[in-house]
């Protein structure tokens, strides 16, 4: 038995708990001790559920049969905009906090039903709007380099997993909010396709853009987490057949392009694909001229509608958020948000993969180095918008199209930060994307945690 379960994978923990080699109570206590001792390094958590998590871990241990629980005793962190019964829903700041939820979101119910124990909620930027994570109470930091952001908006979840505070964490992704933090922090991050996992985030779910997913250190953990959220029985990933993969460096945002480190990450991934037996060809998906403007308008209006639904239009939000909502009200009232535009791009995107053209698309995950970890929430709206678009332009189109997309690590950049790429597929290709990521993991294994994490000085609990 290890001195501590901190640093173990979700599958290792669940297997040990199911076999009786460890108790959920012991595993959760180890992680809560570690979080309390070390979260001040990265500021990943908004709040812990200390007593509640201990009680729920004991309930897992008391079950007579654990064999049906794929996440038995696994400590999991939830992004703070997802309702958990008995907790407020913060939405990125004290000003954006909603009342205490009286019921769990469906993804929370599914995680609990699989035996997971929710240890706390992780930080995000206000209203989930930005690719950095901070507010006036803390700046969330990247465990790989504490002077850099872990990304956003699921930045707290990514920082928690990359530092070993939890083995897996929940995130949601409206315009890249799982995949961007996963790329910043060297994790596997999957955004499922539209309708695969229940959304239920606000009245419009950002007009169908938001999907729930998992951030993990291994493909196996990402796969079991995805299966649980999707309401499926976890199974072994199958070796994919020979695939035709389109490789594209083209940015969907005019005036932005991947830097040398991110281009090299794509080259590394392309070589791994060939080594795994797949075919690669240079090909760019269609990014219509109006996609950028329509995408921005949708981003603005989605935030406005979500804030209206949550009763936050008159809240004392950050200046950047208030301006964003004003832009959203303007775009919404002028009819700039049209479902036919989104459906048109979805059809074009599906056609890119159809008729035997390509099975998978490979792109950069980021365009630049993760932004500095600083108080972005005190900066102006335009500064935030331009910084986010230049740093992470590649993710958003696949929310608009509703296609599954995954970030996977491919080593370390020259500056010591993780290298990562994005894989995109047609509807229903989540397991294929994960299987390809599994091939990458076998051929070119990555560090599971940031250097120096989990912190070795964490004392083992007395047994």
Residues taking part in catalysis: 79, 153, 177
- How many CB atoms within 10 Å of residue 141? 22
Please state the length of the chain. 463
> Which residue matches tokens 């956003």?
152
Alpha-carbon distance 253 to 301, whole Å?
19
Would you say 110 and 228 are in contact if contact means Cβ atoms under 8 Å apart? yes
Alpha-carbon distance 7 to 455, whole Å?
10
Q: Which residues pair with 361 in a beta bridge?
A: 246, 424
Alpha-carbon distance 368 to 370, whole Å?
6
Tokens of 270: 């392309």
Task: Kindly give the pairing relationship between strand 168-173 and strand 45-48.
Answer: unpaired
- Kindly write down the DSSP assignment for every residue of 338-396, as one continuous string: -HHHHHHHHHHHHHHH-TTS-SEEEEES-SSSPPB-S-GGGS-HHHHHHHHHHH--SST
Residue 314 CA to chain centroid, in angstroms? Answer: 29
Give the dihedral of Cα atoms 311, 313, 318, 324; nearest 10 deg: 120
Give the dihedral of Cα atoms 445, 176, 86, 202; nearest 10 deg: -150
Tokens of 344: 């048109």
3-state secondary structure of 50: helix
3-state secondary structure of 316: coil
């Amino acid at each position: 038995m290890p001195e501590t379960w901190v640093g173990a994978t979700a599958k290792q923990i669940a297997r040990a708990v199911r076999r009786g080699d460890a108790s959920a109570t012991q595993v959760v206590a180890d992680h809560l001790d570690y979080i309390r001792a070390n979260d001040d390094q990265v500021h990943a958590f908004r709040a812990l559920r200390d007593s509640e998590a201990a009680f729920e871990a004991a309930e897992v241990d008391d079950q007579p049969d654990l064999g049906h629980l794929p996440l038995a005793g696994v400590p999991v962190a939830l992004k703070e905009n997802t309702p958990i019964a008995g907790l407020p829903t913060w939405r990125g700041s004290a000003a954006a906090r909603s009342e205490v939820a009286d019921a769990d979101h469906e993804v929370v119910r599914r995680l609990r039903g699989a035996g997971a124990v929710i240890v706390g909620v992780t930080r995000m930027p206000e209203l989930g709007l930005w690719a950095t994570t901070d507010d006036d109470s803390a700046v969330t930091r990247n465990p790989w380099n504490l002077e850099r952001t872990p990304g956003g908006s699921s930045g707290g979840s990514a920082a928690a997993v990359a530092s070993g505070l939890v083995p897996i964490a929940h995130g949601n992704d409206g315009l890249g909010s799982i995949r961007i933090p996963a790329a910043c922090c060297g994790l596997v991050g999957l955004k499922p396709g539209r309708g695969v996992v229940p959304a239920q985030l606000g009245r419009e779910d950002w007009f169908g853009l938001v999907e729930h997913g998992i951030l993990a250190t291994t493909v196996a953990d990402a796969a079991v987490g995805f299966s649980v959220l999707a309401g499926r029985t976890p199974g072994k990933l199958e070796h994919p057949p020979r695939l035709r993969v389109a490789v594209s460096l083209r940015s969907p945002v005019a005036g932005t392009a991947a830097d040398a480190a991110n281009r090299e990450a794509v080259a590394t991934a392309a070589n791994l694909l060939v080594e795994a037996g797949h075919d690669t060809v240079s090909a760019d998906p269609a990014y219509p001229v109006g996609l950028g403007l329509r995408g921005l308008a949708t981003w603005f209006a989605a935030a406005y509608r979500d804030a209206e639904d949550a009763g936050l239009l008159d809240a004392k939000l950050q200046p950047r958020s208030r301006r964003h909502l004003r832009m959203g009200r303007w775009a919404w009232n002028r009819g700039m948000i049209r479902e036919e535009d989104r459906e048109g791009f979805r059809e074009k995107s599906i056609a890119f993969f159809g008729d035997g053209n390509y099975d998978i698309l490979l792109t950069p995950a980021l365009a630049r180095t993760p932004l500095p970890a600083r108080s972005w929430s005190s900066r102006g709206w335009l500064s935030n918008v331009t910084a986010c678009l230049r740093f992470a332009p590649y993710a958003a189109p696949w929310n608009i199209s509703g296609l599954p997309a995954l970030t996977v690590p491919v080593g370390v950049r020259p500056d010591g930060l993780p290298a990562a790429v994005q894989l995109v597929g047609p509807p229903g290709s989540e397991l294929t994307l994960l299987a390809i990521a599994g091939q990458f993991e076998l051929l070119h294994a990555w560090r599971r945690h940031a250097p120096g994490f989990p912190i070795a000085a964490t004392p083992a609990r007395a047994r």
